[in-house]
Structure 1
Amino acid sequence: MESAPILELADVRLSFAGVTAIDGVSFGVRPNELFAVIGPNGAGKTSIFNVISGVYRPQEGRVTFDGTDLLGRRPHEIASLGVARTFQNVELFANLTVLDNLMLGRHQQLRYGALAGMAWLGRARKAELAARLAVEDIIDFLELEQWRRHTVGLLPYGVQKRVELGRALAQEPKLLLLDEPVAGMNLEETEDMARYILDIREELGIPMILVEHDMGLVMDLADRVLVVDFGVPIALGAPTDIRTDPEVIRAYLGEAS
């Protein structure tokens, strides 16, 4: 018996000034599943992420996460429910250290006021120490020890992408949205990131949605794949089925192929 999906999108439609970005997308993500969304440039993949995370509100459809309706909720509210994401372009605080960037990912777990924080006593001190321990675990998990005190903006691009993944993990998410996690990486960096993604699923048990152009990575890692083209879902299934689907081949290679 299959587990109930932790995230469900039902017939979601989103348009901007008459231009359709998402057209009838429906899917569910199961607990501990690595679900991938692929498609040509401009297919609507990142728009799907923006709908899930509350950046966009669709005109039609339903989005539920862990039994909660997400439509109408603001991004910080959705994040507090347990949805974390990384971004296609690195969105870190370049002038802060790796440690500081990861600590910023813990802010939703810090339940005390400004005065308590300034006094550094009682609940504030206990919460800060717990946050630091959690971040230290992430540093070990992602093998960031040698860069912990380095300014993020001076680090190699692949390490910055790893730090951004760590910041998302610092939120203790129930669902992780990965927007092109290996974009711009060399082969070695890509292989490292693939290993961390597998470790997240196998050791932390966090379900993930992966948007990625690297088809080798998607086919190797994903349990199921959704293919969208101009916002329209054209295929959904196991990687082995998607690889040979005529509609998928047409979307990527054109009619002649």
Structure 2
Amino acid sequence: MSPDPILQVRDVELRFAGVTALSGVTFDVLPGELFAVIGPNGAGKTSIFNVLSGVYRPQQGSVVFDGHELVGVRPPRIAAMGVARTFQNIELFGNLDLVDNLMLGRHHHLGYGWAAAVAWFGKARNAEVANRRRVEEIVDFLEIEAYRGMPVGMLPYGVQKRIELGRALAMEPRLLLLDEPVAGMNGEETEDMARFILDVRDELGIAMILVEHDMGLVMDLADRVMAMDFGRPLVTGTPTQVQEHPDVVAAYLGLPAKEDA
């Protein structure tokens, strides 16, 4: 018997000034699953992430995370509920070091107010120690110990992408949205990131939704894949099923879809 989905998306419609960005988007994500969304540029992949994280509010449909409706909920609340996100374009603070950037992901776990922070005793001090301990665990997990103490803006691109993943993990999410995590990476950096993504799934048990143009990476890592085109789902299935589906081949190669005989 399969577990109940941690995320249920049903019939989501998103429009901007008469332009339909998403139509009829429906899918589930199971606990601990690595679910991928693929499609050509403009297919609606990033729009799905913006709906899930509360940046966009769809005109129609439902998004239920762990039994709670997310449509209409503000992004900070969704983050506090356990949904974290990385970005295609790196969104780190380049003048801060590795630990400080990761600590930003702990803001929902501070557990004290400004007065305790100014006084710096008791609850505030204990919370700071506990949060830094958690950050150190992530530093070890992602094997980025060598880069501590340096402004992250001076670090290699692949390392910065890994730190961005670490900041998302610092939030202790139960659903992680990965927006093109290997975009712009060389082969070695891509292999490293793929290994850490698998570790997140297999060792931490975090459900993930992966948006990525590297089809080799997607087909190697994903448990299931949903292919999109022009804001609509084409097919959802195993990587092999999706890769061989004629509508997916047509969308990627620009060919007309085959009609049933």
Q: Shorter-chain TM-score: what band?
A: over 0.9
Superposition deviation, residue 115 in structure 1 = 1.0
The match for 2:31 is 31
Report the Cα offset of residue 246 of structure 1.
Answer: 0.1
- Once the two structures are TM-superposed, the CA of residue 256 in structure 1 deviates from its matched residue by 6.5
Shift of 1:118: 1.1
TM-score after normalising by structure 1: 0.99
Match of 1:223 in 2: 223
Name the counterpart of 1:173.
173
Query: In 2, distance between residues paired with 1:50 and 1:256?
Result: 30
**What is the aligned partner in structure 2 of residue 72 from structure 1?**
72
AA matched with 1:45: K
Q: State the partner residue of 2:9.
A: 9
| In 2: Cα distance, 1:256 partner to 1:61 partner | 30
Counterpart-to-counterpart distance in 2, 1:94 and 1:17: 36
**Matched residues in 2 for 1:243 and 1:228: separation?**
12
**Structure 1 runs of 4+ with >6 Å offset:** none
Q: CA deviation at 1:64?
A: 0.5
Counterpart CA distance in 1 for 2:141 and 2:174 is 18
Q: For residue 63 of structure 1, what is the aligned residue in structure 2?
A: 63
In 1, the alpha carbon distance for the partners of 2:28 and 2:121 equals 44
CA distance in 1 between partners of 2:108 and 2:148 (Å): 22
Which position in structure 1 is the counterpart of 2:203?
Answer: 203
Give the count of matched residue pairs: 257
CA distance in 2 between partners of 1:131 and 1:60 (Å): 39
- Give the equivalent residue in structure 2 for 1:118: 118
Q: In the aligned structure 1, how far is the partner of 2:33 from the partner of 2:160?
A: 25
Q: Who is 1:185 aligned against? A: 185
Q: Distance in 2 between matches of 1:24 and 1:150?
A: 46
Distance 1:8 1:31 in 2: 11
Between the aligned partners of 1:43 and 1:254, the Cα distance in structure 2 is 13
Give the RMSD, CA atoms, in angstroms.
0.8
Query: How far apart, CA to CA, are the structure 1 residues paired with 2:103 and 2:33?
Result: 27
TM-score relative to the length of structure 2? 0.97
Residues in 1 aligned to 2:52 and 2:132: alpha-carbon distance in whole angstroms? 29
One-letter code of the match for 1:142?
L
Residue 145 of structure 1: aligned partner: 145
Matches of 1:172 and 1:256, distance apart in 2 = 44
SS of aligned partner of 1:202: helix
Unaligned runs of 5+ in 2: none
Question: Which residue number in structure 1 is paired with residue 154 of structure 2?
Answer: 154
